[in-house]
Chains A and B, each alone.
Chain A
């Protein structure tokens, strides 16, 4: 049963991350995703101090806001203080992450988070933290419920905002010209990424969220030219990685999150080498542009 809960948790995280990651890598913002995933840490610690729990709505919102604030800060340093774009990302997230780690040390007694958990999560402990109703009925791990809720939100978000998200990622200038607010959609997307990182944080940690945000979409990007297929393949790759990662971790007795990231890397390598259209080993004769 534990294996089931762990794999389910991993798959939910993978689903959210892989979906949003498609937009991030197409907008060339993979590293902003990386930055957000680090920068939510102080938010999580503070929210934890105030609410004393890890699975709560205030926690999601509080820490999620910090993620959005990170994107504001990066923008601010870049636009108003004119810091070079990549440096702006690098300075912002390392700064906030350092604050988070220091907060954890300062409040070590009150915060049930440790440095290792921050880095690679505690997905193995997910099944231990059950949500039990007042009647004594066990509803399964609380984390699964939180993640399930976030997953549904994300799926609703990209279903209803499909055409706007698609257009603003592909051609923001045209979108603005026909009256679609690129800023609003940009920040909505960043909010979704923040929510996902916060919800996934304790399961897989800050850095492995990035593996799921980037690797499955990159794999899918090499396998298909259709955006909808890219979303689907990406989710599929993420879920396969969760399952395979779990068994890999059990086999060599290591971190599950680390193993999941390792498998996403293997998937990418396979796609990179053997993709029927884009793999560097099996590339079919390139379709030549037809002169008209």
Chain B
């Protein structure tokens, strides 16, 4: 707890730097990641991330310093080359995109590792710390480095805001963008450049190996919460920033822990949580919705059964026993009882000492289900030419889903019918 207070009071200038740095790095790459994700090129970022390593090493070998601007420049150049190479290979040979990405990723990285180990073995004292590019060094960002990366990150965010409309169209409908005279090639170039920049600053936080996560994961998570692009960008940035801070905090409390992997672990957990629990799109939410559908179907079936019994003698006012319902349709007794109880609560069914009875409200709803069932059966036989002995099963589902507008339309198309295919009256 003490650690927690100490960290989040930001009293220590170092902590302020680290936090600010992580937030900027993680959120700027998350924002750019949204665009690459929507263009279905998420994994390209992975290739770029690996490809900056030889650039960093070459920049060091040629300049002999670890000046962040020079290393950034080197990273930028090879990152950019890698993207161009992927495009070149896919357009000029029969190699497919996934192969080209895997190829560029691993070969560039291999060259990087070869150079890095060669530098390490050369005994050059200035080299120490270069290997931080492998797994990031968010926790030790200070002074000069931080200023350099912060400038790039802010530039990145500002550019994205300025070109928001154009980039959106590029992701959404490239062909259309071209026809209305957008400079699609230039925009692609811009997005490529943004991606490389995002990677170059992002690797400071998590390193080349896990950089792909900073581009892909926040964007994929945000996608599950909203369909609006601007919200998605904001959400992705927030998710990225939160993971950045949380990662910095972990390595503050446990200095032996690698920051980068923790940031990635946290952002992944957020993403997996989103895949499962996001309302509407999440997997669990969808399971819940399917369950709700089931109870909905059960309740309407009970009302329908009671209505159908009511159509016979002695009419709707007569209370019915549970077994009368279950004779007409096999529903597990426990479920049926639970369903009836819920219907009482909702005011559709009344419990009398002699049995269960539809309320007037329940009668109306039961009637509607029966009507929809028979209407759909009629629709299937008339428009789909299905045999009348085959339509019942289909209608059993559809009766629960038809909306009042569709019901109206169905009535119109069928010419306000009175009889269903089995010559039962349509109520």
Complex: chain B residue closest to A86, CB-CB: B42
Give the residue of B102, B115, B219, B261 whose beta carbon is less than 8 angstroms from that of A34: B102
Query: Is B401 an interface residue when CB atoms closer than 8 A count as contact?
Result: no
* A to B contact number (C-beta, < 8 Å): 217
Whether A90 and B213, one on each chain, are in contact in the complex, defined by CB atoms closer than 8 angstroms, is yes
Query: Is A222 an interface residue when CB atoms closer than 8 A count as contact?
Result: yes
A112 to B369, CA, bound (A): 68
Query: Is B28 an interface residue when CB atoms closer than 8 A count as contact?
Result: no
Give the residue of A91, A105, A215 whose beta carbon is less than 8 angstroms from that of B107: A215
What mask results when residues 206 to 248 of chain A are scored 1 for a CB within 8 Å of chain B, else 0? 0110110111011001100000000000000000000000001
Whether B110 and A102, one on each chain, are in contact in the complex, defined by CB atoms closer than 8 angstroms, is no
Contacts of B96 in A (CB 8 A): 25, 28, 30
The number of chain B residues with a CB under 8 A from chain A is: 64
A257 to B107, CA, bound (A): 11
Whether A252 and B114, one on each chain, are in contact in the complex, defined by CB atoms closer than 8 angstroms, is yes
Whether A257 and B268, one on each chain, are in contact in the complex, defined by CB atoms closer than 8 angstroms, is no
A57 to B387, CA, bound (A): 61
Contacts of B260 in A (CB 8 A): 98, 101
Contacts of B220 in A (CB 8 A): 83-84, 87-88, 90-91
Whether A94 and B212, one on each chain, are in contact in the complex, defined by CB atoms closer than 8 angstroms, is yes
Query: Is A29 an interface residue when CB atoms closer than 8 A count as contact?
Result: yes
Query: Is B131 an interface residue when CB atoms closer than 8 A count as contact?
Result: yes
Contacts of A28 in B (CB 8 A): 96, 98-99
- Residues of B41-61 at the interface with A, using a CB-CB cut-off of 8 Å, are 41-43, 45-46, 50
A16 to chain B, nearest CB (A): 16
A285 to chain B, nearest CB (A): 17
Known: A34-B102, A105-B258. A265 touches B107 (CB 8 A): yes
- Residues of A84-108 at the interface with B, using a CB-CB cut-off of 8 Å, are 84, 86-91, 94-95, 97-99, 101-102, 105-106, 108
Query: Is A261 an interface residue when CB atoms closer than 8 A count as contact?
Result: yes
Query: Is B113 an interface residue when CB atoms closer than 8 A count as contact?
Result: yes
Query: Is B256 an interface residue when CB atoms closer than 8 A count as contact?
Result: yes
Whether A221 and B110, one on each chain, are in contact in the complex, defined by CB atoms closer than 8 angstroms, is no
Query: Is A134 an interface residue when CB atoms closer than 8 A count as contact?
Result: no
- Residues of A233-286 at the interface with B, using a CB-CB cut-off of 8 Å, are 248-249, 252-255, 257-262, 264-265, 268, 272, 278, 280
Known: A90-B43, A97-B210, A278-B94. A116 touches B131 (CB 8 A): yes
Contacts of B256 in A (CB 8 A): 105, 108
Whether B117 and A89, one on each chain, are in contact in the complex, defined by CB atoms closer than 8 angstroms, is no
- Residues of B78-130 at the interface with A, using a CB-CB cut-off of 8 Å, are 89, 92-96, 98-99, 101-103, 105-118, 121-122
Q: Main SS of chain B's interface residues?
A: helix
Contacts of A87 in B (CB 8 A): 37, 42, 216, 219-220, 223
Query: Is B257 an interface residue when CB atoms closer than 8 A count as contact?
Result: yes
- Residues of A119-158 at the interface with B, using a CB-CB cut-off of 8 Å, are 119-120
Contacts of B89 in A (CB 8 A): 272
Query: Is B395 an interface residue when CB atoms closer than 8 A count as contact?
Result: no
A268 to B99, CA, bound (A): 12
Give the residue of B94, B102, B135 whose beta carbon is less than 8 angstroms from that of A214: B102
A90 to B98, CA, bound (A): 13
Give the residue of A29, A31, A207, A260 whose beta carbon is less than 8 angstroms from that of B109: A207
Whether A211 and B40, one on each chain, are in contact in the complex, defined by CB atoms closer than 8 angstroms, is no
Query: Is A2 an interface residue when CB atoms closer than 8 A count as contact?
Result: no
Query: Is A80 an interface residue when CB atoms closer than 8 A count as contact?
Result: yes
Interface hit among B16-24, B270-278, B359-367: B270-278
Whether B107 and A211, one on each chain, are in contact in the complex, defined by CB atoms closer than 8 angstroms, is yes
A83 to B41, CA, bound (A): 14
Whether A260 and B110, one on each chain, are in contact in the complex, defined by CB atoms closer than 8 angstroms, is yes
Contacts of B116 in A (CB 8 A): 254-255, 258
Query: Is A82 an interface residue when CB atoms closer than 8 A count as contact?
Result: yes
Query: Is A81 an interface residue when CB atoms closer than 8 A count as contact?
Result: yes
Give the residue of A31, A211, A217, A257 whose beta carbon is less than 8 angstroms from that of B101: A31
Give the residue of B111, B131, B212, B219 whose beta carbon is less than 8 angstroms from that of A262: B111
| Given A119-B209, A218-B99, A257-B110; 6 other pairs, CB 8 A cutoff | A33-B102, A90-B213, A91-B213, A101-B261, A254-B115, A261-B114
Can you sample 16 A-B contacts with CB below 8 Å?
Answer: A25-B102, A84-B223, A87-B220, A87-B223, A91-B268, A94-B264, A95-B213, A98-B260, A108-B256, A116-B131, A116-B134, A218-B95, A222-B95, A254-B121, A258-B114, A260-B110
Binding site for B on A (CB under 8 A): 25, 28-31, 33-34, 77, 80-84, 86-91, 94-95, 97-99, 101-102, 105-106, 108, 115-116, 119-120, 207-208, 210-211, 213-215, 217-218, 221-222, 248-249, 252-255, 257-262, 264-265, 268, 272, 278, 280
Q: Which 7 A-B pairs have the closest CB atoms?
A: A261-B110, A265-B107, A258-B113, A258-B114, A94-B213, A95-B268, A211-B106
